[in-house]
Structure 1
Amino acid sequence: MTDALWTPLADVPPFPTEGFAPLADAFARVLRTRNDVVLVQAEAAVALEAVAHSLGRPGLRALVLVSSLYGRWFAGWLRRAGADVRELAAPPGQPIVAPEVAKVLAAERFDLVFVVHAESAYGILNPLEDIAALVKAQGALLVVDAVASVGGHALDVDALGADLVVIGPQKALGGQAGVSAVAVSEAAWERVAPPGEAPSVLSLADLRADWLETGRKALPGTPSALEFHALAQTLAQVEREGLLVLRERHASAARAARAGALVLTGRAWVSPDRASTLVTAVALPEGIAAAQVLAVAEVGHALSGGVGSGGERLIRLNHTGARAHRAVVLEDLTVLTRALGRLGHRVDPGAVVFAATGGGA
């Protein structure tokens, strides 16, 4: 036994009050926006719910573009707040098609349109620029879930005219999931519900009143020093590496993964222009399901199945953040090649590696 006082992570120093605003400013640089950026002391799903909670109300007409469960969640949060929600769903595991969005917007008017930029669930990329142009032409608010795209894909919030953009550091930025952020335009602030009787973590208006309008000093509540120190280190590393280098690192890993996967199974899940750089979905051979592959793959592998409808037909290669390197991709492709071989699908491992390395380049 010991008489020492038990204190978790006792050596973590307090996070300085004057350090919060620079973190928001760093997020703004990543997003290329002059809009306000508020920090949410929780992972990004909470920030997404806060957006829905702050905008949703009876009479609001929203179009939610659904390409995974995140869109369905957002639609559900809006309905809970009393909004009139229409969902436009892509085929399972596939991206949204901009002409379909154009048809809906031409037939009906909406106050808000929601879209996920990149989907880690299926490794797909939605056509954000095309969708943004359609939404802004109608005058609706554009809400973007950029959690899985920020850092891995080009994202210029002000050029897009996006009104609310939710991000988190845990994907391409290579950080932890304990803090997220929302960039909010002036047009969006005008439609956000006012503060309630008691402060709420789901109220953007409370964050504005309690942090932005008090000089961006102390955050409401009791911030976790550990999470904010981690976020500061993450954003500093992003700035040292540079966004262009970070994006190219992800793009290079994605090219390697797609090339190797094509040789391995003979078909692509989606075309390269519709694929995310963070995750590659490997379309499995006929008669083989993701659960079978995962059951015979080596212990400790990093392979995973898709999430949601259609996910049983693919294996995800995760090349996000610290994993966005060719060596990681080659290791995952090797594990997948051996697993498929055990299930009777045989391909020359050397050919897979040769393709993933650019034909020996």
Structure 2
Amino acid sequence: MSAHDFNPLLDIPVFPASGFAPLADRLKRIFATGNDLLFIQAEALLALEAAASSLGRPGLVAVNVVTSPYGTYFGAWLRRAGADVVDVVAPSGQPVATEAVAQAIEMLGHVDLVAIVHAEAANGALNPLEEVAALARAAGALLVVDAVASAGGHAVDIEGLGIDIAVLGPQKALGGPVGLSLVTVSDRAWAAMQSVPRFSPSLLSLLDIKEAWLDRGRGALPGTPPPLEFHALAAAVDRLEAEGLAARITRHQRAAKASRAGLRALGVEPWVADDDRASALVTAAPVPDGVDASALIDAAAAFGVALGRGFGDIEHRLVRLDHTGGRAAFGPVLANVTAYGAALAALGQVVDIGAGAAAVTAVYGEA
């Protein structure tokens, strides 16, 4: 075979310039928003930094919810831009309390921006977005939501909740590529950016992207758009439209319910105890006292299942059972629970693997 023979990973057809606007419109219809939608030609962490850099300025007062390292990063980016930031830090790996956010807003008296992660892939927590959105509206503050993990697994009502900037990641519940991300921007957010010092050209400026794409009629994207990533995103949107957003969310909710039922039947309480405050993307399970997290992950790998580590200060205290995207299905969920249980048993813990498997099966049997 010649070195110049066709390779589907290298000889990728160009994504047509005429295709970007229709793809954006399809995504806007899926999420029922009239806000502008931008493509960020990088993974979602850069989109989050761009949101902070585009809004952060000296004198801006922000309340920033921290329930994982991602919230910590966002607060740091706002501070770098000169903003005054009050972090509302939840207990390790747990959702934030609405009352704590309300107290921070009341203490400050005036707040320009509230930032929150919706569902945490890092630890399985689900923050009270609806309640925090209401607090932001009452304070007259902009609302920035990291919906990278939650979009497609939970309802994200951009219009109804008044979300001024939503950062969406295709690689989670949307089942798309890693190398692109999406940002929706309200008119209020665009207006707020006008008062931010400009350092153009900048990959971290949403206004630069607006001027280079939206204001020029949404033709060719600036830079060199990666064709493989855009073809993959279009294919993911095809699948999502065929399944339907509501059905996709239901599938993730069922996977979370089955995972949590399976853990409890094993004899283990999920890391996030409140079912209403648990992410539908991953279920965090504790690492018991006396058990090494690496040994637990290795033991599960022997059964063919990859358990995820925790992040930050809880890295060694929990493992994550992934049921995101295509893994939000009976087979992967059953494998997660039984492999976690079998790994615990191999490390000397007493668990009921049969009961765990039966509990997962019962949840899917209800459907």
Say if 2:277 is the partner of 1:274: yes
Cα distance in 2 for partners of 1:245, 1:278 equals 15
Write the distance in 2 (CA, Å) between the matches of 1:154 and 1:3: 48
Match of 1:254 in 2: 256
The question of 1:293 aligning with 2:296 is answered yes
Higher mean alpha-carbon deviation, 289-298 vs 204-213, is at 289-298
Give the conservation status (yes or no) of the 8 Å contact 2:86–2:104: no
| CA displacement 1:304-333 (0-9 Å, x = unmatched) | 221122232212100000100011111111
- For normalisation by structure 1, the TM-score amounts to 0.95
Change (3 A) 1:29 1:329: same
CA distance in 2 between counterparts of 1:5 and 1:58 reads 55
Q: Using the alignment, how far apart are the partners of 2:227 and 2:63 within structure 1?
A: 38
Kindly indicate whether the alpha-carbon contact (under 8 Å) linking 1:63 and 1:88 is maintained by their aligned counterparts in 2.
Answer: yes
Contact 1:114–1:143 under 8 Å retained in 2: yes
Please tell me the residue identity of whatever aligns with 2:22.
P
1:137 is matched with 138
* CA–CA separation in structure 1 for the residues paired with 2:23 and 2:301: 40
Question: What does residue range 157-236 of structure 1 map to in structure 2 within 5 Å?
Answer: 157-193=158-194, 196=198, 198-236=200-238
Structure 2 counterpart of 1:87: 87
SS at match of 2:342: helix
Moved more, 185-194 or 2-11: 2-11
85-94 or 311-320, larger mean C-alpha shift: 311-320
In the alignment, does 2:120 pair up with 1:123? no
Q: List runs of 5+ in structure 2 lacking aligned partners.
A: none
Structure 2 Cα separation of the partners of residues 241 and 161 of structure 1: 26
Letter of the structure 1 residue corresponding to residue 338 of structure 2: T
SS at match of 1:201: coil
Contact 1:52 1:78 in 2 (8 A): yes
Residues 240 and 8 of structure 1: CA distance in aligned 2, closer, same or farther (over 3 Å): closer
* Cα distance change of structure 1 residues 157 and 359 upon mapping to structure 2, 3 Å threshold: closer
The offset of 1:5, in angstroms, is: 8.1
Question: Which stretch shows the higher mean deviation, 52-61 or 188-197?
Answer: 188-197
| Cross-structure match for 1:113 | 114
Which structure 1 residue ranges, 5 or more long, are not aligned?
A: none
Rounded to whole Å, the distance in 2 between the matches of 1:325 and 1:50 is: 34
Instruction: Tell me the amino acid that sits aligned with residue 301 of structure 1.
Output: V
- Is the 8 Å Cα contact of residues 195 and 203 (structure 1) preserved in structure 2? no
1:297 counterpart SS class: helix
Deviates more, 1:132-141 or 1:11-20: 11-20
Q: How does 1:148-163 map to 2 (within 5 A)?
A: 148-163=149-164
Match of 2:337 in 1: 333
Q: Would the aligned equivalents of 1:147 and 1:168 in 2 still touch at CA under 8 Å?
A: yes
Shift of 1:262: 1.1
CA deviation vs aligned residue, 1:268-302 (integer Å, no higher than 9, x gap) = 32211000111001123333242231133334522
Residue number in structure 2 paired with 1:241: 243
CA distance in 1, matches of 2:3, 2:213: 41
Q: Summarize the Cα distance change of 1:196–1:337 in structure 2 as closer, same or farther, 3 Å threshold.
A: same
Quote the offset at 1:236 in angstroms: 1.2
Q: Return closer, same or farther for 1:289/1:264 CA change in 2, 3 Å cut-off.
A: farther
Q: Alignment partner of 1:191: what SS?
A: helix
Match of 1:311 among 309, 315, 324: 315
Task: Give the CA deviation at 1:52.
Answer: 0.8
Structure 1 position 75 matched with structure 2 position 79: no
1:228 partner SS: helix
Could you say which residue in structure 1 is the equivalent of 2:356?
A: 352
Instruction: Normalising by structure 2, report the TM-score.
Output: 0.94
Counterparts of 1:100 and 1:10, CA distance in 2? 51
Identity percentage of aligned residues: 52
Letter in 1 for 2:128: P
Query: 1:359 & 1:171 partners in 2: Cα distance?
Result: 23
Displacement of 1:87 after TM fit? 0.7
Name the count of aligned residue pairs. 361
1:185-217 Cα offsets, whole Å, 9 max, x none, are: 101000114694642211111111110011110
| 8 Å contact from structure 2 (residues 57, 197) kept in 1 | no
| Conserved 8 A contact 2:63-2:115 | yes
Distance in 1, Cα, partners of 2:133 & 2:48:
18
CA 1:197–1:149 in 2, change beyond 3 Å: closer, same or farther?
A: closer
AA in 2 matched with 1:140: A
CA pair 56-189 structure 1, distance change in 2 beyond 3 A: same
Cα deviation, residue 63, structure 1: 1.1
SS at match of 2:155: coil
Dislocated runs of 4+, deviation >6 Å: 5-8
Distance 2:186 2:2 in 1: 54
Q: C-alpha displacement at 1:32, in angstroms?
A: 2.0
2:96 corresponding residue in structure 1: 96
d(CA) in 2 for partners of 1:265 and 1:286? Answer: 15
Q: CA deviation at 1:263?
A: 1.9
